[in-house]
């Protein structure tokens, strides 16, 4: 079973690596690239989301479901991020950060106006959650 999960994750990452960020700035492109119930944790799932920022692109302030723990790693470029009342920090390719249940992600943006950026966010959350991101109103 573990081998099957690892193979599925690797396949999803290979598919995601071939995608290109959309042009023109604006809102980030978000794609679910992996979704698997955790066999050893009833009621929980792991979902991975590819977030692609065009040059100058961003995501509006948002939260995630209260059940969600998130691990994010920058795959390409650099991303400016701020969680809760923390400072804005720039993460470069290869760097990672976490978001805890109930956190507010106030800043999430490409740090460059000329190059694309990509982020892989891995969620562990309740299986029945349908909305991964709730934009600020």
HEC sequence for the chain: CHHHHHHHHHHHHHHHHCCCCCCCCCECEEEEEEEEECCCCCCEEEEEEEEEECCCCEECCEECCCCCEEEEEEEECEEEEEECCCCCEEEECCCEEEECCCCEEEEEEECCCCCCEEEEEEEEEECCCCCCCEECC
**2-12 pLDDT, tens per residue?**
444 444 444 34
Q: How far apart are CA 41 and CA 126, in angstroms?
A: 10
Residue 112 within a domain: yes
What pLDDT does 134 receive?
86
pTM summary value: 0.78
The answer as to whether 11 is a domain residue is no
Query: Can you give the CATH number for the domain in which 34 is found?
Result: 2.60.120.10
| Residue 3 belongs to some domain of the structure | no
Whether residue 70 is contained in a domain is answered as yes
In a domain? residue 111: yes
pLDDT digits (tens, 9 = 90+) for 46-75: 999 999 999 999 998 999 999 999 999 999
């Amino acid at each position: 079973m573990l081998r099957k999960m690892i193979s599925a994750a690797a396949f999803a990452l290979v598919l995601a690596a071939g995608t290109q960020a959309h042009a023109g700035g604006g809102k980030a492109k978000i794609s679910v690239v992996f979704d698997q119930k955790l066999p050893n944790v009833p009621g929980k799932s792991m979902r991975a989301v590819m977030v692609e920022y065009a040059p100058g692109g961003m995501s509006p302030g948002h939260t995630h479901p209260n059940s969600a723990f998130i691990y994010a790693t920058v795959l390409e470029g650099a991303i400016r991020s701020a969680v809760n009342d923390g400072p804005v920090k720039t993460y470069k390719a290869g760097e990672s950060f976490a978001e805890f249940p109930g956190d507010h992600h106030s800043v999430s943006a490409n740090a460059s106006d000329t190059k694309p950026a990509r982020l892989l966010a891995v969620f562990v959350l309740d299986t029945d959650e349908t909305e991964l991101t709730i934009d600020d109103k």
